[in-house]
Amino acid sequence: MKKLLVFGAGKIADVMSDYFNRDSDYEISAYTCEGVLGTDAQYRGLPLVSFEDATRLFPPDRYFLHIAVGYHQLNRLRERLFVEARGKGYALASYVSSRCWPGQNAVVGENCFVADGVSLEAGARIGDNVALWSNVVVGHHAEIRDHCWVAAGTVIGGGSVVGERCFLGLNATVGNEVKIGSDSILGARTLLTRSVASKSVLVERDTELFRLDSDQFLRISKLR
């Protein structure tokens, strides 16, 4: 088993740790995060050390690193940590679920997270530091560039390009041959069939709230 140091001590690290533990050839040895920590600090029953001390306690020639944090500051935090970890000499481990379907010639970069049910069609290219959550579909010859976060259920059509640091919300749909500029946000359930510039924001309205409450609705419906 390859030894792994995980950056993060929150909800995302919790989820990603479960994936690594049940379905990878990495063994998590410890966790790290920024800031001053006590000498006996722990997370999930393992040592939790300051990132400033990481190379001394868990040297890069013996440990891989995976950055397990969320999309804070539109992925800029993850980008900064990725650059700093490389600067410290760490090789950045990717997790690709055995329940993912990678197509022929599909490519996945460093420090990526590819969850269960993801479909990477032939020729798909995933850059560095990209998170693809459950049941994402990346169409043939599509490209997702570095430091992106793609939420569960998203579908990206063939030949499309997602620029750096983009966030795609739950069940977003991107058509074929669409280019999304860097630092863009697609909210949950959005549909995009045309190319958009960098820093674009697309947000879909919530479903309209029904005028009756649940008790009143049950009295007139077949859901009794």
- Write out pLDDT tens, residues 90-109: 999 999 999 999 878 899 99
pTM of the model: 0.94
Domain 2-87, CATH among 3.40.50.20, 3.40.50.150, 3.40.50.1100, 3.50.50.60:
3.40.50.20
**What is the distance between the alpha carbons of residues 174 and 38, in angstroms, rounded to a whole number?**
46
User: Can you give the pLDDT at residue 223?
Assistant: 62
- Write out pLDDT tens, residues 1-50: 999 999 999 999 999 999 999 999 999 999 999 987 888 899 999 999 99
Give, as one character, the DSSP assignment of residue 30: E
**What is the distance between the alpha carbons of residues 63 and 90, in angstroms, rounded to a whole number?**
7
**What is the distance between the alpha carbons of residues 224 and 151, in angstroms, rounded to a whole number?**
34
Torsion of CA 49, 55, 56, 61, to 10 degrees: 130
DSSP string, 81-108: HHHHHHHTTPPBP-EE-TT-EEPTT-EE
CB count within 10 Å of CB 53 equals 11
DSSP string, 166-192: -EE-TT-EE-TT-EE-TT-EE-TT-EE
* Least reliable range by pLDDT among 115-119, 160-164, 208-212: 208-212
Residues linked to residue 125 through DSSP beta bridges, in sequence order: 107, 143
Please list, in sequence order, all residues whose beta carbon lies within 8 angstroms of the beta carbon of residue 91, skipping any fewer than 6 positions away.
60, 64, 65, 110
> HEC states along 48-68?
EEEHHHHHHHCCCCCCEEEEC
Q: Break the chain into its structural domains and give their ranges.
A: 2-87, 94-198
User: Is the CATH number of domain 94-198 2.160.10.10?
Assistant: yes
Letter string b/e over residues 86-104, b meaning 16 or more CB atoms within 10 A of that residue's CB: beeebebbbbbbeebebee
Are residues 63 and 3 in contact, defined by beta-carbon separation less than 8 angstroms? yes
